[in-house]
Chain A
Amino acid sequence: AQSVTQLDSQVPVFEEAPVELRCNYSSSVSVYLFWYVQYPNQGLQLLLKYLSGSTLVKGINGFEAEFNKSQTSFHLRKPSVHISDTAEYFCAVSLQGGSEKLVFGKGTKLTVNP
């Protein structure tokens, strides 16, 4: 079975600082990888996804993530954050060739302070 570990439950940063949210996964088969963002009392919005090809994936709102197969990681980065980036971020995986079922990490609360 797959599992997803988000190493930091909370990440406080100052506005315009860079940020990295860490995600590691465990799976015996190849997976697809996703990052979602959740604003308070809302559903999830897809930030970016890795299905195949280039290991550096660019998403919306200036976010990017890099797939590292040897380290089974898919860390999310942004070079300069805004107050509006304050939200909960979830890393998720699904099996290649399987159903579209997603397994989520526990989330990282990003708080951007002025």
Chain B
Amino acid sequence: GAVVSQHPSWVICKSGTSVKIECRSLDFQATTMFWYRQFPKQSLMLMATSNEGSKATYEQGVEKDKFLINHASLTLSTLTVTSAHPEDSSFYICSDTPPGQGSYEQYFGPGTRLTVT
């Protein structure tokens, strides 16, 4: 399958600081990428859909001012957790999907573990 990279793989930050997570689509130009959040021993919850060249679409209950998403190029989407709090500690996973119709398949990055102290 296609390769998606995330950086960093893990990060520890202090409460009140901001953290940026990068997601790169390495095998194709992804107009759409997704950001998920996964709490320990739980499922993935879609946070937002990242659209290249336009604003991200956030799921209900996700604070758009806290989780800033930028999709400035066809191969890079970033998630910035602003003013991080300990409850933001989680595993963040991005995915991309091949352009066009017919695939309905997502390729997932390896995830970024965020710990806020």
Distance (whole angstroms) from the CB of B90 to the closest CB of chain A: 13
Chain A neighbourhood of B109, CB < 8 A: 43
Pair B93/A43 contact, Cβ less than 8 Å: yes
How many chain B residues have a CB neighbour from A under 8 Å? 25
Interface string of B32-46 (1 = CB under 8 A from A): 101000000111111
Given contacts A41-B111, A42-B110, contact A100 B104 (CB under 8 A): yes
Given the contacts A45-B108, A49-B105, A100 and B44 also touching, CB distance less than 8 Å:
no
Q: Which range holds the interface residue count of chain A? A: 20 to 34
* B34 adjacent to A101 (CB under 8 Å): yes
- Decide if B4 is an interface residue (CB 8 Å cutoff): yes
Chain A residues contacting B44 (CB-CB under 8 Å) are: 44, 90, 102, 104
Given contacts A41-B111, A41-B113, A43-B111, contact A90 B104 (CB under 8 A): no
| Closest beta carbon of chain A to B44's beta carbon, Å | 5
Does any Cβ of B come within 8 Å of A56's Cβ?
Answer: no
Q: How far is the CA of A101 from the CA of B58 in the complex (A)?
A: 12
Nearest CB on A from B54, distance (A)? 14
Instruction: Decide if B105 touches A42 in the complex (CB within 8 Å).
Output: no
Indicate if B50 sits at the interface (CB-CB under 8 A): no
Give the residue name and chain of the A residue nearest to B109 (CB).
A43
A94 at interface by CB-CB < 8 Å:
yes
CB atoms of A100 and B97 under 8 A apart? yes
* B61 interface residue (CB < 8 Å to A): no
Chain A neighbourhood of B110, CB < 8 A:
42-43
User: Which among A45, A101, A105 is the interface contact of B46 at CB below 8 angstroms?
Assistant: A101
In the bound complex, how far is the Cα of B106 from the Cα of A99, in angstroms?
A: 11
Chain A min CB distance to B26 (Å): 13
Q: Which residues of B contact A94 (CB under 8 A)?
A: 104
List chain A positions with a Cβ less than 8 A from chain B: 32, 34, 36, 41-46, 49, 51, 90, 94, 99-107, 109
